[in-house]
Structure 1
């Protein structure tokens, strides 16, 4: 696990962001310390993936600041931003492998794009990364020949090919069977610690996350509504945390869409469409 009080690698302060008139983030404060694995949780559409895009510099804040390694991303040059991105790894939802490339070429892609390493060294590094995720020997397979869990592990090997300082995961457990889910969870933790990296994981999988992360942020309606260590989350009496962890249908996140009373709908004026 990460040391108790390392320096922050990522810091968000008062972050606000909107797509047009649709405000997604409404003043988010968030800190990720070096060496940590943190989870960002919340309902669909609450702004979790937008946070990853802001940290990766794909989009810029409307207000507030996003700092990476002490640099405000809104104030650095394009060349500096691209250099920082080379030090990030990303595991997309469902892996997002290049379907016309072999397993080997998928993992080799970032090495070939961002380095001048010899083919021999690229080969050795690819085999090392595949070995780290348990898939050395599968390098000649095509993505269509992989199971869902295998494809996610190949994507993970690609995400860490350049030994990034920051690894981001967008729903890494989506669609996996229980065995594959457990394997990916343990790989995320072990690779983070082995590489001396820092990881940010957007996920809905509460129970797997509680086993591997150092800290959790809960997002709702564009704000951080709860946060804490796994032990604090397990013991939390916060209504939102309780509803999310226990998968309850109704609570602070209501089951019913906002509407008038039943009497108004059934016995009032006819609905106009």
Structure 2
């Protein structure tokens, strides 16, 4: 029998989810060990962000189990679910900073919401988090004064404000220049290791992700179609993985939307 420290921090078993009649996830099995950085990759609309929302408890699975730190999310009441979510950090796509707050107040926000720390201790903690992402000197700036890369780093400092056991990222590299992208990638790895946390990262950026993650899951049509370490993914002969990591236009994900033969469409004189 596994000890608590050996059990996965996150485990999904046979998870199904749908919006109405539209199936999004169909029988997903996935696990994240303690200390791991795990990437979830796949095409747009395949269910990656839905997986993050299920792990974070914003959504409930229609079938199967979603466990975080040994707790089945579907069995938790509101109070217990919120208590568990306070131990998670989330970096939203493009940062999602509060535009009417300074950098300092953005990072202080979760500390003010969830703790009763004295102002002097709160100040020290905020500056520590900003220092960890290289932006202690930007504490009093307005969010409108930040570059895209700086805003993403502030959002990262906010995500780790409460020293979470689990950090989730939704497209952390989107819209960044190569230098900022590299900085964010290294921060994700370093902060995960320094906090002793686990990380789940939804991303399209193959190159940067394979440099920092421990394991990768590929999602297509609501299922896990491939998984492995970065070395296994690079060496994979799976057609979908090969198309994805090499950015090929055609393959298991076709270039052409389904249509009748082109010659037949021309002869019929129709738009399809």
TM-score range, shorter chain: over 0.9
User: Distance between the aligned counterparts of 1:252 and 1:19, measured in 2?
Assistant: 25
Q: Deviations over 1:161-204 (max 9, x none)?
A: 00000000000000000000000000000000000000000000
- 2:60 is aligned to 60
Q: 1:218 to 1:121 in 2, by over 3 A?
A: same
User: Distance between the aligned counterparts of 2:180 and 2:270, measured in 1?
Assistant: 51
- 2:115 is aligned to 115
Q: 1:175 to 1:80 in 2, by over 3 A?
A: same
- Cα deviation for residue 51 of structure 1 reads 0.2
User: Distance between the aligned counterparts of 1:271 and 1:157, measured in 2?
Assistant: 52
- 2:71 is aligned to 71
User: Distance between the aligned counterparts of 1:54 and 1:236, measured in 2?
Assistant: 28
1:174 counterpart SS class: coil
Q: Is 1:250 aligned to 2:272, yes or no?
A: no
User: Distance between the aligned counterparts of 2:57 and 2:99, measured in 1?
Assistant: 26
Which runs of 5 or more structure 1 residues have no equivalent in the other structure? none
Q: Deviations over 1:87-140 (max 9, x none)?
A: 000000000000000000000000000000001110000000000000011000
User: Distance between the aligned counterparts of 1:110 and 1:71, measured in 2?
Assistant: 23
Q: Is 1:221 aligned to 2:210, yes or no?
A: no
User: Distance between the aligned counterparts of 1:269 and 1:62, measured in 2?
Assistant: 45
- 1:236 is aligned to 236
- 1:85 is aligned to 85
1:242 counterpart SS class: helix
- How well do the aligned residues superpose, as a CA RMSD in angstroms? 1.1
- Cα deviation for residue 263 of structure 1 reads 2.2
2:257 counterpart SS class: coil
Which runs of 5 or more structure 2 residues have no equivalent in the other structure? none
**8 Å CA contact retained: 1:206, 1:245:** yes
Q: Deviations over 1:21-79 (max 9, x none)?
A: 11000110001111000000000000000000000000101111101111110011111
- 2:194 is aligned to 194
- Cα deviation for residue 265 of structure 1 reads 1.3
Q: Is 1:132 aligned to 2:132, yes or no?
A: yes
User: Distance between the aligned counterparts of 1:6 and 1:208, measured in 2?
Assistant: 28
- 1:34 is aligned to 34
- 1:143 is aligned to 143
User: Distance between the aligned counterparts of 2:219 and 2:94, measured in 1?
Assistant: 22
- Cα deviation for residue 213 of structure 1 reads 0.3
User: Distance between the aligned counterparts of 1:80 and 1:104, measured in 2?
Assistant: 29
- Cα deviation for residue 260 of structure 1 reads 1.0
1:247 counterpart SS class: coil
Q: How many pairs are equivalent?
A: 268
- Cα deviation for residue 7 of structure 1 reads 2.4
Q: Is 1:9 aligned to 2:6, yes or no?
A: no
Q: TM-score, normalised by structure 2?
A: 0.97
- Cα deviation for residue 6 of structure 1 reads 4.1
1:8 counterpart SS class: coil
Could you list the structure 1 runs, at least 4 aligned residues long, displaced by more than 4 angstroms after superposition. Answer: none
- 2:179 is aligned to 179
- Cα deviation for residue 264 of structure 1 reads 2.3
User: Distance between the aligned counterparts of 1:111 and 1:145, measured in 2?
Assistant: 23
**8 Å CA contact retained: 1:47, 1:222:** yes
